[in-house]
Structure 1
Amino acid sequence: MARTKEFDPEAALQSALELFWQRGYEATSMADLVEHLGIGRASIYATFGNKHELYLKALDRYNETHDSGLLCELSQPGPALSAVRTVVRRFAAEASSKGPRSKGCFVTNTANELGPHDTAAARRVEASWDHIETLLRSALTRARAQGELPADRDPRALARMLLVLMQGLRVVGKASNDPGRVRDAAEQALRLLD
């Protein structure tokens, strides 16, 4: 008879995500995961695979939960340009906050730590960025169609610029003690939408 799991795999995955997000991949050992999740090494392997597989599952979870919120923000009916501005300003506020968000963005952290040498992680990072770029481009295309954005503006190029800006805000915000640096950069970039 198969044994039933004595832990909630969804809660364990969320807990692993939080630990990886806080410490990074390399600085998190299997012993750290065993202690933090409160489950045995064998149970971790049986449920999630090895540390790398668990990390990728945590990254997938992060992308699912964070990208869905962005979709809601950028696809609401009404003025699209104000939604884009709100999203960029939210990214800047989160990036310059020294509260629970000061650990940065899990995707951006993964890009910096694993992206250059881990193909599976790099694919997930690119997929997340492609998704964000698509959402921004769609909102900017709507804004242009509604007359909010000048007709000569390229929604694709602007979406790419905003994506790079937002990821950069997260990197600088994580390391900088000057929140004004991040906010000023965001506001300057938003002027390109006028």
Structure 2
Amino acid sequence: MSRNKEFDETEVLDKAMRLFWEQGYEKTSMTDLVKHMGIHRRSLYDTFGDKHTLFLMALDRYDSKISASLSRGVKRSKTAMEALQSVVGILICGGEDSPSGCLMVNSAVELAARDADVNDKSTEAFTKAEQLLKEIILWGQREGEFTSDYDAGELAEYLHNVGVGLRSMARTSIPREKLHRIANISMRTLEK
């Protein structure tokens, strides 16, 4: 007879996600995960599989949470520039109680060169981010807010690259004011 789980899977997955985000994949041990998630080792294996599978699930969870947050910010915006500022704010600051930087960027830097699964997940997330930026840029071009001198897709690639750099810098002690200054200059390249 199997026992009922005594924990909420989403809640403990969020705890694993946060630990991977703070420490990275390599530095996070199974002992760390068991302690941080507050479940038994056997429950971890039975529910999530091995460390690598748990990590991939944490990346998926992170991607869905960030995507939802970005979508909410864009939907609340009245102008394309407002939407872009919302996206950039989320990318630089994350959530109020979230670790610095971006789990997807951190994971790509740490593992993508040697882990095809992480490479696929990070590349997919980056493609989605570029598509969102492209849609915002097209909106701004249609409304006359942004220049049409450049292709929206190319501008999105450029801004995404700036965003990846900003999310990497956010892991350091560089002041947030500097990150916002860099972001603002980058966004001004879109102005007519």
- TM-score, length-normalised on structure 1? 0.89
Deviations 1:86-105 (A, max 9, x none): 3224434x17x9x8445311
| Identity in percent | 35
Q: Deviations over 1:99-121 (max 9, x none)?
A: 84453111111011111111101
Distance between the aligned counterparts of 1:117 and 1:107, measured in 2?
A: 15
In structure 2, the CA distance between the partners of 1:75 and 1:140, relative to structure 1 (3 Å rule), is: farther
Change (3 A) 1:171 1:28: same
What is the TM-score with the length of structure 2 in the denominator? 0.90
Residue 139 in structure 1 maps to residue 136 in structure 2: yes
The answer to whether the Cα contact below 8 Å between 1:12 and 1:37 also exists between their aligned partners in 2 is yes
- For 1:133 and 1:186, the matched residues in 2 are separated by 16
2:70 and 2:86 in contact (8 A); partners too: no
In structure 1, list runs of 5 or more residues that go unmatched: none
What residue in structure 2 maps to residue 60 of structure 1?
A: 60
Question: 1:15: which partner in 2?
Answer: 15
Query: Which stretches in structure 2 are left out of the alignment for 5+ residues?
Result: none
Counterpart residue number, 1:87? 87
Of structures 1 and 2, the one with the larger relative CO (CA 8 A, separation 6+) is: 1
Q: CA separation in 2, counterparts of 1:12 and 1:90? A: 24
Query: Residue 155 in 1 paired to residue 152 in 2?
Result: yes
* 1:32-181 alignment runs, 5 A limit: 32-76=32-76, 78-92=78-92, 94=93, 100-181=97-178
1:46–1:102 Cα change, 3 Å: closer
The number of residues matched between the two structures is 191
* Contact 2:70 2:90 survives alignment (8 Å): no
Moved over 4 A (4+): 99-102
Please give the root-mean-square deviation of Cα atoms over the aligned residues, in Å: 2.0
